[in-house]
Amino acid sequence: MNIDDIRTVCVVGAGNMGHQISLHLALYGYRTLCTDISEAALEKAGVFARSYLKGRVEKGKLTEDKAAEALGNLRFTSDLQEAVGSADYVIEAAVEKINVKRELFAELDRFAPEHAILATNSSFIVSSRIADFTNRPDKVVNLHFFNPALVMKLVEVVQGPHVSDETCALSIELCRKIDKVPVHIRKEVDGFLLNRILWAIKREAQWLYDMGVASFEDIDKACVYGLGHPMGPFRLEDLTGIDLNYILAMEKFKKTGNQADLPSPSLVERYVKGEYGEKTGKGWYEYKK
């Protein structure tokens, strides 16, 4: 298979990452099927796509023809077998739980054509922990987009020991075709590249807050106005989701058994209260609907 053979892409998961990845692919001419077990999530994703495209047209960033073409390329369905059945490339963007992903990839392997590449958008779980649940481990790869996927250029392509050179090369080329900047990670490591760097910053920021050294607002200001970051670590947690950050920390702890990997008490407090960040209207900061 070469890059021109990839015409249809299936995105599994219509959440914050999945629906944005789907829309981005559709904007670049790919027939895109977005699937989810939740009809409500699919409906919300469709509303977002129409609203986003309308806004881009109104701002002069997109022509009406291009917007109509993107909508024509995009389809939402709750039927996983139908969505995956004609896909040349599959991108999974489901919840960050290893057992869920393993069961899902076993299904994807059954439903997808033999030539299809099965990618996971996981920011933490390496594909070698999933690949053995399929009959095509050489075609199972991490393709990690960043939030918001419609804006952020970076995509991490992680080549585990089981991933073929062809799968890796096609994944990198697909990123370039949709105007992303791929980085090739040659070894599987927890957190890949950027998240490992972010973890170090977040861990120190969390310690400074928990020890009462500074408020989370001032820590964020220091990172923005001193380091030139677009947002501080606490604001970033609100954007990516405190629930996701909690789940990732717990998954890491289960793997390592190291208590230093447990989520901080202040993060746990917000998670238990259901204060997940922007999507719930409150996290570290408060947000108007």
Radius of gyration (C-alpha) of the chain in whole angstroms: 19
Is there a domain that residue 288 lies in?
A: no
Provide the domain count of the chain. Answer: 2
Per-residue pLDDT band for 110 (boundaries 50, 70, 90) equals: very high
Structural domain containing residue 99: 3-185
pLDDT tens digits for range 29-87 = 999 999 999 999 999 999 999 999 999 999 999 999 999 999 999 999 999 999 999 99
CATH of the domain at 143: 3.40.50.720
Q: Are residues 199 and 164 in the same domain?
A: no
pLDDT tens digits for range 166-184 = 999 999 999 999 999 999 9
Q: Are residues 158 and 240 in the same domain?
A: no
**pTM score > 0.75 for this model?**
yes
Helices assigned H by DSSP within the chain: 16-27, 39-58, 64-73, 80-85, 98-111, 128-131, 165-177, 194-210, 216-227, 233-240, 242-256, 265-273
Per-residue pLDDT band for 289 (boundaries 50, 70, 90) equals: low
Catalytic annotation, residues: 123, 144, 156, 195
Q: State the chain's mean pLDDT as an integer.
A: 95
* Span 197-205, average pLDDT: 92
Per-residue pLDDT band for 199 (boundaries 50, 70, 90) equals: confident
Q: Are residues 125 and 229 in the same domain?
A: no
pLDDT tens digits for range 153-163 = 999 999 999 99
